[in-house]
Amino acid sequence: MKKKYDMKIIYMAIFVVMIGVLIYTFTHQVAQQANQQRCEWKITNCCQENAGAEWSCVKIKDFREPTCTGLILCPQVISPKPSLNCVNVNGVCVAK
């Protein structure tokens, strides 16, 4: 009788672990898809916010930092991040 009881516990433990793995896999895939569609404001001209930054609303997964080599002349004007939201609309990043 004890053997049957022990096997039930083992099967239950295996079942619980499998459910946990399925839940983790599903939530991980959902999070990955959400990150691939996420949009953000990014500086695209090698200047800083306090010196003429040019901002673009871009998809994070596609964005590449600009290559900033040599002498870069930045206008001495403050250009803060835009106050509009940068959002994904049908797969395209737009300012709203």
What's the predicted TM-score (pTM) here?
0.60
* 57 phi and psi angles, rounded to 5 deg: -90, 110
Per-residue pLDDT tens over the stretch 77-88? 999 999 999 999
Mean pLDDT (whole number) for 60-84: 91
Per-residue pLDDT tens over the stretch 9-49? 777 877 777 777 677 766 656 555 555 579 999 999 999 99
- List all residues 6 or more positions away from 35 whose beta carbon is below 8 Å from its beta carbon: 60, 61
Tell me if residue 95 falls in helix, strand or coil. strand
Q: What average pLDDT does the structure give for the chain?
A: 83
What's the token pair of residue 42? 């990014």
Q: How many residues does the chain have?
A: 96
Question: Which pLDDT value is given to residue 16?
Answer: 77
